[in-house]
Amino acid sequence: MTEDNPELEGLEARLETESKALHVNLNELKSGGYIKQRQKDKFTIRLRCPGGAMSVERMRKIAEVAEKYAEGRVHLSVRQSIEILDVDIAHFDAVAEELREAGQDIASCGPRVRVPTACGGCEYNPNGLMDTQAHALMVDEKFFGTECPHKFKITFAGCQIDCPRARGADLGFVGQVEPELVPAECTACEICVKRCEDDALVMVDGLPVRDIEKCTLCGDCVKACPFDAMIQGQAGYAIWVGGKGGKKMRLSDHILDMAQEEDVEGLIQKTLDWYIANGDKRERIGRTIDRVGMDDFKEEVLS
């Protein structure tokens, strides 16, 4: 996967000259998703596809542009965005312009908030508990491109199966639900007890009782109950912070359960504020937390 492009900086002087001639917006070039390829003068242009969903109309436009200005090949980035391969520098402007007309923007690279990723969530996935797609769009609109000490990736997973690996992102949201028992509907069939992988349910006097210390709010019991007895209560997000891949991976830390939809934006804002205030240049937030301290982070962000 092409992620960073330090070579781009070396090209700056040349691009400055060429960009003037070509009317390329150099700022856009530096912040945007233009990734230098090994082939001379060829770039990969990464598009902004939050949550990895789009209309086929837009897809057709992307296909058209890829055929017209490049070799007609695209690559799907690991973070759900379409990348047009083999674009010559000379076509940067035309590509960006034509795509923008169709409502398709270019992504960002470098030290800033990247395009958020998300699974189908409750919009169309039977396991989904939260509207991950809507939240990815919100993040894209409000935070995309925000300058940070280093790259900052936000991911939404509809449930704890965590297909999009929110627990490996700088900031990850994982859908949760509080199961609620309606005793009158319970037939004591014990299916919920069998289903619970965390041994959080035990039958007491003919009813399943939940150990809230053990319960991870996964919702499996709700999905398994064949009567209307174990039902979905309040849903929310578990928040995970500080994950990263790269040469030295770091697992995310779990900092909060059941964050509500209306708190998502504020949590992201506070996390970014803390990161920008405390992070060293080219330091991912997980490392900043290791250096400055989780207590400090939590005090700022969660209080």
Which residues of this protein are in contact with other proteins, per CB under 8 A?
187, 189-191, 194-195, 223-227
Q: Is 215 in the site for ligand SF4 (CB under 6 A)?
A: yes
The interface partner of residue 33, options being ligand SF4, other proteins, none and the CB cut-off 5 to 8 Å by kind, is none
Q: Who's near 69: CB < 8 A, 6+ residues apart?
A: 84, 87, 88, 91, 94, 95
| SS3 (DSSP) at 53 | coil
Shortest Cβ distance from residue 237 to ligand SF4 (Å)?
Answer: 12
Taking CB atoms, the residue at the shortest distance from ligand SF4 is 158
Give the range of 3-11, 193-201, 233-241, 255-263 binding ligand SF4 by CB under 6 A: 193-201
Residue from 5, 77, 117, 127 in contact with ligand SF4 (CB under 6 A): 127
Residue from 89, 95, 221, 272 in contact with ligand SF4 (CB under 6 A): 221
Shortest Cβ distance from residue 128 to ligand SF4 (Å)?
Answer: 4
Q: Do 297 and 171 meet the contact criterion of CB atoms below 8 Å apart?
A: no
CB closer to ligand SF4, 39 vs 232: 232
Residue from 24, 95, 201, 268 in contact with ligand SF4 (CB under 6 A): 201
CB closer to other proteins, 161 vs 189: 189
What is the amino acid identity at position 295?
Answer: D
Shortest Cβ distance from residue 133 to other proteins (Å)?
Answer: 22
Q: Do 206 and 191 meet the contact criterion of CB atoms below 8 Å apart?
A: no
Shortest Cβ distance from residue 175 to ligand SF4 (Å)?
Answer: 6
Q: Who's near 151: CB < 8 A, 6+ residues apart?
A: 3, 4, 109, 110, 111, 112, 114, 170, 284
Binding-site size for ligand SF4 (CB under 6 A) equals 39
Draw the binding track, 230-249, toward ligand SF4 (x: CB under 6 A; -: no contact): x-------------------
140 burial (CB, 10 Å; 0-12 / 13-18 / 19+) is buried
* 299 vs 303: CA distance, rounded Å: 6
* 191 vs 208: CA distance, rounded Å: 10
Q: Who's near 63: CB < 8 A, 6+ residues apart?
A: 72, 74
* 132 vs 34: CA distance, rounded Å: 27
Can you spell out the DSSP letters for 159-205? STT-TT-GGGSSEEEEEEEEEEE-GGG-----HHHHH-TT--EEEET
Shortest Cβ distance from residue 210 to other proteins (Å)?
Answer: 17
Q: Is 2 in the site for ligand SF4 (CB under 6 A)?
A: no
Give the range of 9-17, 66-74, 97-105, 214-222 binding ligand SF4 by CB under 6 A: 214-222
Q: Do 130 and 237 meet the contact criterion of CB atoms below 8 Å apart?
A: yes
Instruction: Write out the residues near ligand SF4 by the rule CB under 6 A.
Output: 119-121, 125, 127-128, 157-159, 161-163, 179, 181, 186-192, 195-196, 198, 200-201, 208, 210, 215-221, 225, 227, 229-230
